[in-house]
Chain A
Amino acid sequence: MKKYNAFYSVPYVLWLLLFVIAPLLLIVYQSFFNINGQLTLSNYQTYFGSGTYLRMTFNSIWYAFIITLVTLLISYPTAYWLSQTRHKQLWLLLIILPTWINLLLKAYAFIGIFSQAGAANHFLEFIGLGSQQLLFTKTSFIFVAAYIEIPFMILPIFNAIDELNPSLINASRDLGATNWQTFSKVVFPLTLNGVKAGVQAVFIPSLSLFMLTRLIGGNKVITLGTAIEEHFLVTQNWGMGSTIGVVLIVAMVVIMFATGERRKKGGHRE
């Protein structure tokens, strides 16, 4: 049996080596070279020594935090409602559907919607608020990023709520809990793993968003993702780009450990 298992894992291991391990090592390796190809620690000195990069790091984390928070506030009630409705599968499909469309296409669609003569401004004029500058603002950046990330937050939360043993809710009511107490003392703690998975799935990719920052945010928002893109494609300073990459990867690992938890057994339907 063991031999067969090893055999079946060959494609995956190859994939892992070529497209995960090797690039990681290359990025780390690359980060120790300056723009002239000399082995040095100067990239890291620049990163941690200059206010620009630290501010950029703070910006990335701050925007990722806001995007995650907005997404969570919308997704939790949605997932809860979804678990209670009939036709769950249909609604779920409708929520997942946008994820099948290319990110770039969705971004361009929003450019149209938010532009001076777009649907959003038409609506604002119609309700008497008048035309506004919507595109290339921080708000529109957060809005579109949240729109794109929402399905990834809803799914794990929905799964956690759906797996919740309904007799736990009855038990809580039976013991005298109001609806709110049942939610705060039973439902939310028991679906926390879903929330954590959703936060991981949204926060980590949000750290390195770069295309939306340009297309929707109009470069008003500079994140680490934007910086990496600039270094690799514009300034050709691969060493500095890699250094930011390494910092970003370390940050992601830290977040993974912070939000990941040994799953407690129970609470799930048998």
Chain B
Amino acid sequence: MPNDPNKTAKIQGSVTIKLANTIIKFSGVNKRFGDTLALKQIDFELEQGKFYTLLGPSGCGKTTILRILAGFTDASAGTIEFKGQKINDLPANKRKINTVFQDYALFPHLNVYDNVAFGLVLKKTAKKVIQEKVLEALRLVQLSGYEDREISELSGGQQQRVAIARAIVNEPEVLLLDEPLSALDAKLRTAMQVELRQLQQRLGITFLFVTHDQGEALAMSDEIFVMNNGAILQQGDPVDIYDEPINHFVADFIGESNIVKGRMLADYQVEILGHQFECSDAGMRINEPVEVVLRPEDLVLTSIEKGKLTVTVDTQVFRGDIYEIMSHDAAGNEWLIHSVRKTTVGQQVGIYFEPEDIHVMRFGESEEDFDARLESYEDDDHEEV
């Protein structure tokens, strides 16, 4: 959505914040396990008080970043800074960072109260203060009255809350969350997403959340880092990442996508399947081969005459809110359409989309070039306004 005025404002706003409050900085971080490079040249900055998500498939290196930041493992190269101080050699117990573990890692020999109090007791905090803080933390995660319970008596969702309380009671400046919702059932997970987001906003501390679930990432984050094969592919707010994926992997990983090959004929003109379409992308070479993303919810079923493409319907599944329609075009490309209207299997239909629904991706474009290109569009929009 290039002509969304909110977005421009947001980008300008975030630039000012960025200058003020960088809390974590990774520069050129590598991590080697034997012969394999698990992290390749990781660079990023986290600002104070924001909710960040590392998103990627399992084995992409997201948990390794978390472990390096927590101090459980060392980086093979590069520097990690906390408020401008290099912390590469600072042991885990000296960092003002706390972690919520994937398996919660609650101490089974201690009850809820003693689990939450663990960090404060180590710091030799006064008993009365410990009690106040523990009860407050339990209240924040809505577990008041559970102080004397044993860990084994709690449900998965309750254990998860205890794990969060145990971490936040220490008032960390950064809270790391390692797929903490993955063990919960779907309904509880959705509820916890909202709660986590609210908790983060109430505490005002930086959250770095690791997940492989794109829905989770989109729902909670201020900023998402999409990772694959030990590298960060794209960084941006959820809307940016969804609307303007940098490459095939990101487009495919975030949401459902129809991806077809195309060719740039000129600025704002792309050719797909032998047809020429107006689009909102520019700055590429003439005749540059590209990939084009069309989201299933942007495709509208219409008559063959009104449609921009003609497809044949293969299957139609009712999903409650939409019909999920699989179809194919004459060239054999598959098209997934989310439609509120139903159609007939086997029928030829037209699909219609707007120029701004076409998202053009270049092959092998770096994140820097990609950002520069998008920014140039936004400047164009500005002039129009």
Contact = CB atoms under 8 A, between A and B. Distances in A.
B43 interface: no
Contacts of A186: 107
B93 A173 contact: yes
Nearest to B150: A264
Given A170-B101, A171-B99, A171-B107, A177 B152 contact: no
A264 B110 CA distance: 11
A168 B122 CA distance: 16
A265 interface: yes
Given A170-B72, A175-B170, A265 B103 contact: no
B115 to A, nearest CB: 9
B108 A266 contact: yes
A52 interface: no
A176 interface: yes
Nearest to A269: B103
Given A181-B122, A190-B107, 7 more contacts: A171-B101, A174-B71, A176-B123, A189-B109, A190-B109, A264-B150, A266-B108
A99 interface: no
Given A168-B107, A190-B108, A176 B119 contact: yes
Nearest to A192: B109
Interface in A134-169: 165, 167-168
A173 B107 contact: no
Contacts of B101: 167, 170-171
Contact of B105 (A168, A178, A181, A189): A168
A264 B93 contact: no
A171 B108 CA distance: 12
Nearest to B170: A175
**9 shortest interchain CB distances as A-B pairs:** A266-B108, A175-B119, A267-B108, A171-B105, A167-B105, A173-B92, A265-B152, A176-B122, A174-B99
Contacts, number: 74
Contacts of B150: 264
A165 B103 contact: yes
A66 to B, nearest CB: 29
B170 A176 contact: yes
Nearest to A178: B93
Residue from A170, A175, A264, A267 having most chain B Cβ neighbours under 10 A:
A175
Interface in A254-270: 264-267, 270
Contacts of A170: 70, 72, 92, 99, 101, 105
Contacts of B105: 165, 167-168, 170-171
A88 to B, nearest CB: 19
B122 A266 contact: no
A47 to B, nearest CB: 41
Q: How large is the interface on B (under 10, 10 to 19, 20 to 34, 35 or more residues)?
A: 20 to 34
A15 B102 CA distance: 48
Given A165-B103, A266-B108, A173 B72 contact: yes
A165 B167 CA distance: 18
Given A170-B72, A170-B92, A173-B92, A270 B119 contact: no
SS class, residues of chain A in contact with chain B = helix
Nearest to A167: B105
B62 interface: no
B98 interface: yes
B25 interface: no
Interface in B127-157: 150-152
Contact of B152 (A181, A189, A264): A264
B283 interface: no
A268 to B, nearest CB: 8
A174 B70 contact: yes
Contacts of A270: 103
B161 interface: no
A178 B108 CA distance: 19
A265 to B, nearest CB: 5
A177 B122 contact: yes
A190 B123 CA distance: 22
A38 B156 CA distance: 66
Residue from A167, A176, A270 having most chain B Cβ neighbours under 10 A:
A176
B118 interface: yes
A175 B122 contact: yes
B108 A175 contact: no
26 contacts: A167-B102, A167-B105, A170-B101, A170-B105, A171-B105, A172-B107, A173-B72, A173-B93, A174-B71, A174-B72, A174-B92, A174-B93, A174-B97, A175-B119, A175-B166, A175-B170, A176-B119, A176-B122, A176-B170, A178-B93, A189-B109, A190-B107, A264-B152, A266-B108, A267-B108, A270-B103
A165 B151 CA distance: 15
B92 A266 contact: no
Contacts of B108: 190, 264-267
Nearest to A266: B108
Nearest to B91: A173
Interface in A184-243: 185-186, 189-190
